[in-house]
Structure formats: C-alpha cells, structure tokens
Amino acid sequence: MTLSAAGLTTLVVAALAVVAISPFILIALLVNDLRKKSSW
Amino acid sequence: MNADAVLSTPVAVVIVAIFSVFWVALGWWLGRANRSLEDYMLAGRHVGLGLATATAMATWVTSNTTMTAPQLAYQLGIWGMVGYSLGAVGLLLFAPLAKRIRELMPHGYTSGDFIRVRYGRFAWRVFLLISLFYALGWLVSLAMAGGLLVEALSGIPYAWGMTVIVVTCTLYTVFGGLRAVIGTDFVQTLIILAGLALLAGLVIVEVGFEPVHRQLAEERPGLLNLLLPASLMFLFNNLLFGVGEIFHSNVWWSRAFAFGEGVGFRAYLLAGLMWLPVPIVAGFIALAAPALGVNVPSPDMVAPLVAGHLMGEAGAILVFIVVFAALASSLDSLLAATSDLLLNDIYRGHLRPDAGEAELRRAAAWIIIALGALAWALAMPRLGTLAALLHLTGAFVASTIWPIVFGLRWGRGSGAGAASAMILGTVCGLVAYNVIGFYVAALVSAAVSLVVTTVTFQLSRKRFMFSELAATRATGP
C-alpha cells in the first residue's frame, strides 16, 4: 500500500497551513495577555 | 572543511555572533525582573497563555525536530515523519496532567518533589537517575546537533560551532533564569515557524508535489510504503517515547508550576496542536532530496543540504537561523529545568537541606554553568548519530509514564511498586533496544512498566492522601 501523490499533497498542505498560521495565533495571545497585564 | 558547505564561513560567523549577542542581551533584560528564587526558577508562577503556549511549543521543537525529523523521513519515509509528529500526543496528554499538577502542588518546584512525596525516597532516587540521564542525553544530543549543523552549513569545525551554541544558551539562562528562557522561546518560536513555512513553501513552488512523489516512487518506493513494518513500530514507539519524555521531565513540570492558574491546560493543548504538523513540514523538505538530485553524505544533514541546494546562500542562512533558534529554545529550557532538579532534589534534597534562599540562588547559577560545561565536554568527542543517542533514552523515560499517571490519579500504589516499574521497564527496554532495534525500546519499556504498575497498584492496600502534596515546600525534603 503506497501513498499517492494526492495523499502526499493533502498531508503536506494541511500541515503547512497550520504551521503558517501559528505565529499569528501566538502573537494575538501575547497581545491579549499584555492588555490584561497577565503575561508574567 | 565540509565540501558540501553552502554558507561561507565569514557569513556564518557574523550570524552566530549577532544572534548570540541578541539572545544573551534579551535574556539579561528579561531577567532584570527576578527578585526571588521563585522568580528565577519559575518566572514568578504567573506566565500568561501566549508566552506559555510558545515556550511549550518551542521547547518541543528541538534541533532534533528540524534535523532528525527530515532524517527519519529520508530513512523511514512517510511514517518516519508522521511518527515523529505523534510526539505531539505527549503535549496533548500532558494538558490535563499540568492542570492537576498545578492544583495538587501549588508550591511545588520539580517533578522530583512529586515522586518523593508520593512514593518515598527510594523511588525518588531511581526517578532522579532516570531523569538526569535523560536530561544529559538530550543536552548532549542538542549540543552535537548544533556542532553538526554549523559544520554542515558553513564548514566551521564541529567543536567551534558546538561551543558557541552551548556557551550562548548557558549565559542567558544564568542571567535570566526561566523568565529569560520563556521570553527568548517566544521569539524563537516565531522564527522557527516562519522559517519552516517559507522553506516548505519554496520546495512546493520550485519542485512541486508531483516530481517529489514521482522521483520517490522511482528511486526509493519504500519511503511511500504505508505498511513498512519498521516504520509502523517506529510510529508507536515514538508516540510512547514522546509521552514518556514529557510526563517525567522537569522541563514540562517546571512549566506546569510556572504557568498562571488555569493556563497550563490550554497552553499544552494549543502547543500540541501547533507542534503536530511541524515534523511533517520538516520531513517533506527532506523528501525533496531525490527530486533535486542532492548528494546526502550523512542523513542527519539532509534538511540543510536541501535548503542550501534550493536557495543557495539565502537558504543556508535561513536554515542556520531556524536551527539555531530551535537549538537554543530547547537547550535553555533543559539547562534551566535540569538545574532546578539538581538544585532542589540533589543540592537541597541530599546535600544542603538547610540552605537559605541566597545560597540556593547562587548555587542555581553555578549548577547551570556546570551543566553547560558537562554537556560541552560530553558532546566534544562526537559519539554516535543524533537519532541513536535520542532513542537510547526512550527505554528509560517510557518506564516513568505509568507510575506518574497512576500516582497523580489514584491513591493506591507503593514506592516499591513504582520503583520496580521504572527499573524493570528500563532494563527490558534496553534489552529490546539491543536485541530488536531502537524502534521498540520505548514500546517495551512502557509495556513492562504498565504491567508492573497495574499489578502493584491492585495489590497495594496503602491509600495516599493527596493533601500531602499541597504542603510540599512547607515541609521540605
């Protein structure tokens, strides 16, 4: 049983989408902490 | 000098110098807020969700993720990288435990505190041996990865690159304690994620999925095989290895103590979800090597070589910065958490039970320096490959999963039972490592430990009062 080209594409595109959006989520969470003065 | 080096030595020296000064300065600046030992070791116990998620994420994204995940993809194929990504399960499963740990031990400092109070001094010492061996193994593997990376990319001798990375991380951890570690982790996380996304995006644009898949199917069809037995064993082994690493290590426990009330559960959950795709993205970069016709002299250098081939010097610089960030974010965490364990459980727990706060604060700094020096000395001979060193510790850490999980949830169980589970699990895991292969060491260790823990918990008549954990620091070792 071999992974098809479509399977490889789906796997990598989904993973890349999460990796690409993660920095923005982290910055938003930090800004929220700073606004609430709860970063430390 | 490495003939495949794609980054000129002067450029590499400038990058290393700039980032080293930046991390040390940032660590010192963040550490100015430290007033007490608790500030230094646990960042004041009020870390918010943004920093908490980033530090959990960055610590788990090690140079092993950015260099060994591609290596495993290159050697074991699809299941190599997917199996590596299951390391995220450890972070996800630790989320409820972090909540429980914070509630049970609001004044706790280390994972050793829990084992000592819950199971007694013998099990505590067995646990400390396992934990310190693992921490040292991980530290040495990180230091070695640093030296290898610098050499692969720039031709700077292994010893010099490794030395600069270890010294930089040691300095800013000494200056700023856990605040410096967490603050730098945040910046390092952003660099790692952005760099990986950029590189993988470039592979897709420059090479494309179809050529990568076609070339793999022609040259190395085994890498696309979904039923490769060794890869499937690796997948489950890596899952248990990751769970064992996180459940027992003080790196994660100290964060559970440091995160603000109600933050731990959400932070570990988010960090796990964000970490899950990272090894897949890093592994995909390595799978492009056959399509690009990259010559890979050593599998653990496949990612930097692909990046260098694809982007020339800019690619080499990018990978250099990403892996330097990944190395630093894990090395600093490990230095801080292991020094906490040495300070709290060895120095205070065994040698100087009456030491005051000022003495402990001084000792903490010296322990970080000594630990950095030890890791440097052990990494210098460049023994073994990164993956071999990493997987040997799997036999040790997987044996601690069940005594911790059972011990946090149920009042039954004895110290002798927990110690037996850890010792027998480790021994059987090591036998499996040598007789069968690295991909079953954690699996066998966890299975044996589960059987022993279950039986001893069933037979035990003792009932532990969890309220004893709340007063951990008040009574002391």
pLDDT digits (tens, 9 = 90+) for B145-185: 788 878 877 888 999 999 999 999 999 999 999 999 999 99
The residues spanned by each domain of chain A are 1-40
How many structural domains compose chain B? Answer: 1
Determine, yes or no, domain membership for B1.
no
Contact B193 A1 (CB under 8 A): no
CA distance B328 to B323: 8
pLDDT on residue B119 = 96
- CB proximity B43 to A under 8 Å: yes
Determine, yes or no, domain membership for B458.
no
C-beta of residue B154 within 8 angstroms of C-beta of residue B4: no
| For helices B264-275 and B250-258, angle between their N-to-C axes, nearest 10 degrees | 130
In B, minimum Cα distance to A38 occurs at B48
pLDDT on residue B292 = 86
CA distance B123 to B48: 33
From chain B, pick out residues whose CB is under 8 angstroms from the CB of A4.
213
List the beta bridge partners of residue A2: B225
Which domain range does residue B318 map to?
A: 9-385
| For helices B401-409 and B415-435, angle between their N-to-C axes, nearest 10 degrees | 150
Q: Say which residues have a Cβ less than 8 Å from residue B272's Cβ, sequence separation at least 6.
A: B88, B89, B90, B91, B92, B95
Residues 227-266 of B with CB under 8 A from A: 227, 260
Q: Say which residues have a Cβ less than 8 Å from residue B329's Cβ, sequence separation at least 6.
A: B55, B58, B59, B61, B62, B184, B185, B188, B189, B192
Whether the pLDDT of residue B240 is over 60: the answer is: yes
Determine, yes or no, domain membership for B4.
no
Of the partner residues A4, A8, A40, the one whose CB lies closest to the CB of residue B47: A40
- CB proximity B207 to A under 8 Å: no
pLDDT digits (tens, 9 = 90+) for A1-40: 788 889 999 999 999 999 999 999 999 999 999 998 766 7
Determine, yes or no, domain membership for B50.
yes
Determine, yes or no, domain membership for B268.
yes
One-letter amino acid at B438 equals: F
pLDDT on residue B386 = 56
Of the partner residues B201, B226, B280, the one whose CB lies closest to the CB of residue A2: B226
Helices (H), B155-263: 158-206, 209-219, 229-248, 250-258
In B, minimum Cα distance to A23 occurs at B190
From chain A, pick out residues whose CB is under 8 angstroms from the CB of B33.
40
Chain B interface, best mutation among A4, A12, A36, A38, by max B CB count within 10 A: A12
pLDDT digits (tens, 9 = 90+) for B278-295: 999 988 988 888 888 887
Determine, yes or no, domain membership for B295.
yes
Determine, yes or no, domain membership for B467.
no
From chain A, pick out residues whose CB is under 8 angstroms from the CB of B212.
8
Of residues B474 and B37, the one with the higher pLDDT is B37
pTM of the model: 0.89
In A, minimum Cα distance to B227 occurs at A1
C-beta of residue B210 within 8 angstroms of C-beta of residue B218: no
In the structure, what pLDDT confidence band is assigned to residue B64 with cuts at 50, 70 and 90?
low
Whether the pLDDT of residue B301 is over 90: the answer is: no
Residue B277 in tokens? 């795709």
CATH number at residue B125: 1.20.1730.10
Determine, yes or no, domain membership for B301.
yes
CA angle B13, B299, B384 (to 5 degrees): 85
Contact B50 A19 (CB under 8 A): no
Contact A23 B194 (CB under 8 A): yes
Whether the pLDDT of residue B62 is over 60: the answer is: yes
In the structure, what pLDDT confidence band is assigned to residue B138 with cuts at 50, 70 and 90?
confident
In A, minimum Cα distance to B45 occurs at A40
- CB proximity A10 to B under 8 Å: no
Chain A interface, best mutation among B39, B181, B269, B284, by max A CB count within 10 A: B284
pLDDT digits (tens, 9 = 90+) for B397-424: 999 999 999 999 999 999 999 999 999 9
